[in-house]
Structure 1
């Protein structure tokens, strides 16, 4: 096996079960074995870990429904909530009722024509 190329990547995770979010940094070692197959090894905090894209699980509840986002997405969402805007109520105005619309004859039923999925040989 040749010397691996090391790439540093970070990902944000959001659990769709409990709603928690977190970020993790990875050191990814890319190498090619003697048979020419590409190998990828993921390390987090110096420990060999499985790829975050294969069977990820929530660190908090163990749920398996996770959304993986680019780094920085969880941190930006965890910031202080924006203050709600105060909207002043507008003075009400008296509006005349509109005339009822004239009812026209019903439109003829249209048919949708979709391209045939079957081809003749």
Structure 2
């Protein structure tokens, strides 16, 4: 099991938040690979599947890569 931090950015209300997901990686035995995701101990979809803003319920949410956010240079 691996714990991964994911960042989300709502394109509607501009809220940014993070969530910790547990990812359980398993081989299928036939060359395949499967990942089971959990959020707060509950089975969940992968972080990038249909995220919803916790503030305004918008579906216009961008999933940001794990790791530090680097400000853009102008």
> Whose helix fraction is larger, Structure 1's or Structure 2's?
1
TM-score interval for Structure 1 and Structure 2 normalised by the shorter chain: 0.7 to 0.9
Distance 1:10 1:60 in 2: 19
Q: Structure 1: state its 5+ residue gaps.
A: 1-5, 74-121
Larger Rg: 1
Residue in 2 aligned with 1:56? Answer: 51
Distance 2:67 2:48 in 1: 14
Q: Structure 2: state its 5+ residue gaps.
A: 70-74
Alignment of 1:1-121 (within 5 A): 6-69=1-64, 70-71=66-67, 73=69
Q: Flag as ranges the 4+ runs of structure 1 deviating above 3 A.
A: none
The structure with higher relative contact order (CA 8 Å, sep 6+) is 2
> Whose strand fraction is larger, Structure 1's or Structure 2's?
2
Contact 1:15 1:21 (8 Å CA) reproduced: yes
